[in-house]
Amino acid sequence: MSQMNRRRALQLLAALGTTGLTAACGTDGDGDAASAPAGEPIKIGLIAPQSGGYKAIGEEITDGFQLYLDLHDQRLGGHPVTLLTADEGDSAETGTAAVESLLRQGALALTGVVNSIVMAGIRDTVEKARVPLIGSNASPQSLQSVVYIWRASYVLNEPGRALGPYLARKLPTGSKVAIIAPDNAASRDVIDGFKGWFGTAGSSDPRISDAVIWTNPTDSPGGTTYAADIRKALNRNPDAIFCDFAGSAAAQFVRQLYREGYRGPIYAPGFLTEGTVLSDVQEAESRNIVTALNYSADLNNTANRIFASAYRKHHNVSPTTYAMASYDAAQVLDKAIRLAGSNPSSQQVNLALGKIGQVDSPRGAWQFNQPRTPQQKWYLRRVQRDGRLVSNVLINELATLG
């Protein structure tokens, strides 16, 4: 390990109050970084939204990837890295333009992508270019039979698959669940997963027999964007609400649901309360929210203690699943580029991605499955006060999926 890396690791350990020197000072990938020859500089292209409702998520995946570089001397696989960035926008056209821009600049590999519409839209461009993309968020069910697209996040139906059986056991017979979500491809994947696994062995369940309320947001004054759809849901007198929102829309929905008088339990994929959402709503508004996610910032493992401590030090907030998945995207690229040799091509890196094996991640150990997505644990979290802050607090493990 370089002296700079060793100093960083020692500083981290001092901050953590732990003696896990071996874990924090591990090699950058599969080899001994001190003895490995210095590689030629490489370029990695990161695609993320730089404006709009997903801008905050874009910043988090950028921060997660950059943190890994900061802790590894700005190198991946022994090669100095220039991180190129491009704005994915919000459409297939803008995403394709971002990919093409990064390819023209000589990117060895790509990462990022928040919006499922963008991911679906760039599929053919990436596959034709034969340049690996390690996605760190968007992962629609429809993205199948790909060769060059890998995802360090999850398939979008998996949060619902993880939460469905738990909620089916928890809610007594005769309960009613109202489902409300934006009408987009990502939410349809989430709800398909939930409805398919809420009943016994994937059967339908009369507790969720009512049709999904697909939101039709309006720019109404006074913070009533979702008010009409929320009232429609509450008119069903539900015992619980299952919803799917993220980013600024999640904060709006949570505030308006409370304002319309609902005080019952809310269940959702974890991105309902990820990032700045909990700081954007009042504590009373976020009560009774339980979520399922592949990561919780309070997981007690060595990799997460190092990652979460460093992230908080850099950004003064707890890390999210978005930042963690992007950090892991950098980690798998680190491993694959090292395996690809001293002068790696994009095709060699892609082949090496299938050989990296288990990833020692802040979320817990995981590995790529055949569809190029993680086989990983899913966790149940509750929003509650943790010291002075309202946080997502780990309850238990839900399932291993993938």
Q: In this predicted model, what pLDDT tens digit does every residue of 167-202 receive, in sequence order?
A: 989 998 889 999 999 998 889 999 999 998 886 544
Q: Count CA atoms within 13 Å of residue 241 on its CB side.
A: 28
How far lies 343's CA from each of 29, 104, 145, 333, in Å?
A: 16, 19, 28, 14
State mean pLDDT over 103-113.
98
Spell out the domain ranges in the chain: 3-154+298-368, 158-293+381-401
State the average pLDDT over residues 78-102. 97
| Average pLDDT over the chain, rounded to an integer | 88
Residue 38 has what pLDDT?
67
What CATH superfamily is the domain 3-154+298-368? Response regulator (3.40.50.2300)
Whole-angstrom Cα distance, residue 156 to residue 153?
9
Buried b (16+ CB within 10 A) or exposed e, 157-192: bbbbbbbbbbbbeebeeebbbbbbbbeebbbbbbbe
The owner of tokens 């350990």 is 13
Q: Could you tell me how many residues make up the chain?
A: 402
pLDDT at 28 over 60: no
**Two structure tokens written together for 335:** 């491993």
CATH number of 158-293+381-401: 3.40.50.2300
Ranked by mean pLDDT, the top range of 209-218, 257-266, 274-283 is: 257-266
**Residue listed under structure tokens 């220039």:** 82
Mean pLDDT, residues 72-82 taken together: 97
User: Cα 215 to the chain's mean position, in Å?
Assistant: 23
